[in-house]
A and B are shown apart, each in its own frame.
Chain A
Amino acid sequence: MTEAIPLVVQSLFMHDLNGREIVGDVSLHVERGEVLAIIGESGSGKTSVALSLLGFARPGMRISSGKILIGGTDILSVSGRQKRAFQGGKVSLVPQNPTTSFSPRMSVGKQMAELLAAHGHTGTGMKQLMRQALRSVDLPDDEKFFRRYPFELSGGQLQRIAIAMAFITSPQVIVMDEPTTGLDVSTQQTILELIARLVKSSSASVVYVTHDLAVVNVVADRVAVMLSGRIVEQGGRKQVFAAPSDDYTRMLLDAIPRLVTDCPAAAREAEGAIEIQSVLEVKNLRAAHGHVEVVHGVSFSVGKGECVGLVGGSGSGKTTTGRCVTGLHSNASGSLLFQGHLMPFAVSSRSKADLSAMQIVFQNPDRSLNPKESVAQSIARTVRLTGLADRAQVGAEVRSLLDRVRLPQRVVDLYPADLSGGERQRVAVARALAMKPKLLVCDEITSALDVSVQAAVVELLLDLKKDGLAMLFITHNLPLVSEIAQSIIILKDGNIVEAGKTNEVLRSPQDLYTKMLLGAAPRLN
């Protein structure tokens, strides 16, 4: 008798409550010990497919037809106690966001024990299993650690626990829903290595959902590419990456930022050797949260038409530095020289001219745009701040700004909810440009976006830079920085560990941390 394939999905359809198709005719199978990556952008239905493997549909959605066979049994045909035996027992899930995926008022040990107890483990055997599982993800296995609450642990530690819990019941199928998206690069790298190691040593079939193709390269055996709820291409990883047969897959592959060590922008500038007129000069900036100093004396300058990349992992002080520059964080010392004059830290004591000459674009456009204001309204409000009062003139200015960020005129009357993430971020950029700034501070502006959208936003920033706009580009994404920044500053624990021309730094990094960051950035080759 041949053993049943651990996971077979037969023509799965999912619809939302209005009858709109979310997932259409998805069929796939995963062999023992195999890793299948499902790739797609947000809204492609990849997470819906992943969750359906546990017999679950998010509220507002339902699984309308199809079969999901876990070891030969259709999880969609069972319910109640039988279904719960599958969930966590035979199929387990590693969630996207570790910090919101643990019950906040229960210690992690208790949550692990709860899982094991629900699947028939008891007493000392259970404790042993828990210790072993924590050891396998390189975490301490003592009682003290078991008593920790989720808020006491870092995102990386929580994700390790989540991974340990996914493997602990020796399930046949493990579903990983973007398990590294919420983590910073260096943590991401170690988690990826951990996953690869655990997958190799277990015989589970793994479904790995992601939008990050570089990550796929590290873990997957086979790849399924999803677009609008359907699988457009499926095959071995090497084959799909080397010779994609679908246009969409090709587009996705092209959109990935590559670590370019001979940065075209920097090279060109070096040739020209133009005397750069400095827009912003930061000298010995120190900033604190409460009494804890998080930035310890950082100095740099940004010239006209220059883009400076401020790179570091979470907690490196890069965002705080950006906030000090823009006046959002005034618990700081040092000096800010903006367009040749000294500027105070507090936004309330800055002059109107300074305020309008420096604009910021935030990480998440969902939260920085007023959901009750249409695109035209939010941009026009800013345009009127420049002193323009005439209706027709304001309208013309709004349209020209939309042109500048390459948004079609039809979006004028739409609301943020009607736009995609990338379009929203472009509205945010247009709104910042309305003040005709000399310096644009971009705080992780692409990290909430899909790769293809990210590429478009980067192209837009390159154009703006050509027009002489100075930019401070804050990010944890090294490949991205290599595409747009001439100079780069690497921050670690509030100190600059390395700074210089992007191509020089990336080609021959001097500092260990920079080398680590470079090594950690997943890449395609």
Chain B
Amino acid sequence: MSCKPPWPARPRRFRFLKVRPLNKPLLQLLLTRITLAVVTLFAVSIVVFAATQYLPGDPARAALGAKADPSAVEALRRQFGMDRPAVVQYFSWIEGALTGDFGRSIPSGRPVWEAIGPRAVNTLILTVTSLLLLIPLSFVLGILAAIYKDRLADHLISVPTIVTVALPEFVIGTVLIVLFAVYLRWLPPVSLINDSLPLSSQSSLFILPVLTLLGTTLAQVVRMVRAVALEVLSAEYIYMVRLRGISPARVLIWHVLPNTITPTIQTIALNAAWLAGGVVVTESVFQLPGIGSALSDAVINRDMPTVLAITLIITATYVLINLVSEALILLLNPRLRVARGNN
């Protein structure tokens, strides 16, 4: 006997994610946000540039060593344009940055992008994978915990996530290494990715770092989802929907989930932004060559062009993630989507 679904067949898309043609007020809001993001980025670039100018230590001297000939140091400074006024330096730097040219690394003389490019890719894979796991996982776990509030499933979800959020990533990383690399011997203890080999053959090297990042971010999002879902579950409209004889699965997917997503976007965005910058420790625990480790190397070497480039990349990601989350919140808000004049 065929089992007909209780509602008519229709494409199973998440209709609530479907965006109608943008209307004028919404477009204005989005444009404002984008403008603000660009302004923020410029402001940050000025602050970061100014900070590197006043950072103690002379990059040229750091590159040539303490006993270097003063005239050689001076020559190097001229070579990198560091003898020009700061304002001029900033404009020539920002001009290059806008076209993707971040200048040359001071000790090696190689273009900055050449040095950090592959590392940025590694970091990108690490953070994006973590994020792609984080979002569905936190919704499933958070809503489950809310449904089974104060029962076993809730405790099984809540206790471990709270424990892991309380631990710094180097502790989680170390525990994972001890467990999976030293004891079980399933995975390598360090993630020394070889640039010359295809990344696909080295995917297992990402497992432990991704787990570490998940461990530090999951709890916060799960807690948030749980709290929001609890509120939604006890909302009057959920009772009403249930008392109309709608199946629990449908109530969950069409009524609980959509109303849980929007308030949690901000939390997810915060965690995503944190992932973009906060991978430094995780990368160093696993010796994974990413931009986090590149940044700490560059700071030690007073490699200002590299420091500037990485800081700018991290901030840009931060700003971009916030922009995306704000745009999502605006787009998912039916009030703005259908704005028909003011009320």
Within the complex, which residue of A81, A92, A126 is in contact with B244, where a contact is CB–CB below 8 Å?
A92
Partner of A102, one of B237, B250, B258: B237
A115 pairs with B16, CB closer than 8 A: no
Chain B 263-301 against A: per-residue CB contact (8 Å), 1 yes, 0 no? 000000000000000000000000000000000000000
- In this assembly, does B140 line the interface, its C-beta being within 8 Å of a C-beta of chain A? no
Verify if B96 is at the interface (C-beta below 8 Å from A): no
Give chain A residues whose Cβ lies under 8 Å from the Cβ of B246: 84, 88, 114-115, 118
In the bound complex, do residue A118 and residue B244 qualify as a contact, i.e. CB atoms below 8 Å apart? yes
The answer to whether B247 touches A84 (Cβ under 8 A) is yes
**Contact status A56-B239, CB under 8 Å:** yes
Stretch touching chain A among B67-75, B126-134, B173-181, B334-342: B334-342
Chain B: minimal CB distance from A331 (Å): 16
User: Whole-angstrom distance between the alpha carbons of A109 and B239 in the complex?
Assistant: 19
* Interface positions of B from 222 to 249, Cβ below 8 Å from A: 234-247
Q: Find out whether the CB atom of B259 lies under 8 angstroms from the CB atom of A87.
A: no
Query: B183 contacts the other chain (Cβ, under 8 Å)?
Result: no
In the complex, the chain B residue whose C-beta lies closest to that of A54 is B243
Least CB distance, A147 to chain B, in whole angstroms: 8
Known: A103-B259, A149-B334, A152-B338. A165 touches B244 (CB 8 A): yes
The winner among B16, B236, B259, B342 for most chain A CB atoms within 10 A is B236
Asked if A56 and B243 make an inter-chain contact with CB atoms under 8 angstroms apart, the answer reads yes
Report the interface size for chain A: residues with CB under 8 A from the other chain: 38
* Complex-state Cα separation, A123 to B4, whole angstroms: 14
Would you give the 0/1 interface string for A68-89, flagging 1 where the beta carbon is closer than 8 Å to chain B?
Answer: 0000000000000100111111
| B7 interfacial by beta-carbon distance below 8 Å | yes
Are B244 and A88 in contact, CB atoms less than 8 angstroms apart? Answer: yes
Indicate whether A97 sits within 8 Å of B236 (C-beta atoms), given known contacts A115-B246, A117-B8: yes
B6 within 8 A of A: yes
Contact B8 A95 (CB under 8 A): no
A123 to B8, CA, bound (A): 7
Name the residue among A81, A85, A118 with the largest chain B CB count within 10 angstroms: A118
Query: Chain B residues near A241 (CB, 8 Å)?
Result: none
Does A106 touch B at the CB level, under 8 Å?
yes
Q: What are the interface flags for A50-66 relative to B under an 8 Å C-beta threshold, 1 for contact and 0 otherwise?
A: 01001010010000000
Question: What's the tally of chain B residues with a CB closer than 8 Å to chain A?
Answer: 29
Q: Which residues of chain A (120-143) have a CB below 8 Å from chain B?
A: 120, 122-123, 126
Q: A84 is contacted by which of B238, B245, B334, B338 (Cβ under 8 Å)?
A: B245
Which residues of A have CB within 8 Å of B332?
105
User: What is the CB-to-nearest-CB distance from B108 to chain A, in angstroms, rounded to a whole number?
Assistant: 54
Pairwise interchain contact A151-B245, C-beta atoms closer than 8 A: no
- In the complex, the answer to whether A117 meets B255 with C-beta atoms within 8 Å is no
- Assembled-state Cα–Cα distance A101/B8 (Å): 24
The CA of A292 and the CA of B343, in the complex, are separated in Å by 10
Residues of B within 8 Å of A56, CB to CB, are 239, 242-243
Query: Is B237 in contact with A100, judged by CB distance below 8 angstroms?
Result: yes
For the complex, is A119 an interface residue (Cβ under 8 Å from B)?
Answer: yes
Q: Let me know if B148 is at the binding interface, CB within 8 A.
A: no
Q: Which residue, B7, B254, B338, B340, has most C-beta atoms of chain A within 10 A?
A: B7
20 further A-B pairs in the complex, CB-CB below 8 A; given A102-B237, A103-B238, A114-B250:
A54-B243, A81-B247, A84-B246, A84-B247, A86-B245, A100-B235, A100-B237, A101-B236, A103-B237, A103-B254, A113-B7, A114-B241, A114-B254, A115-B244, A117-B7, A118-B247, A118-B250, A120-B6, A123-B8, A292-B342
B interface list, Cβ under 8 A from A: 6-8, 16, 234-247, 250, 254-255, 258-259, 332, 334-335, 338, 340, 342
Q: Which 6 A-B pairs have the closest CB atoms?
A: A117-B7, A88-B244, A88-B245, A84-B245, A87-B245, A100-B236
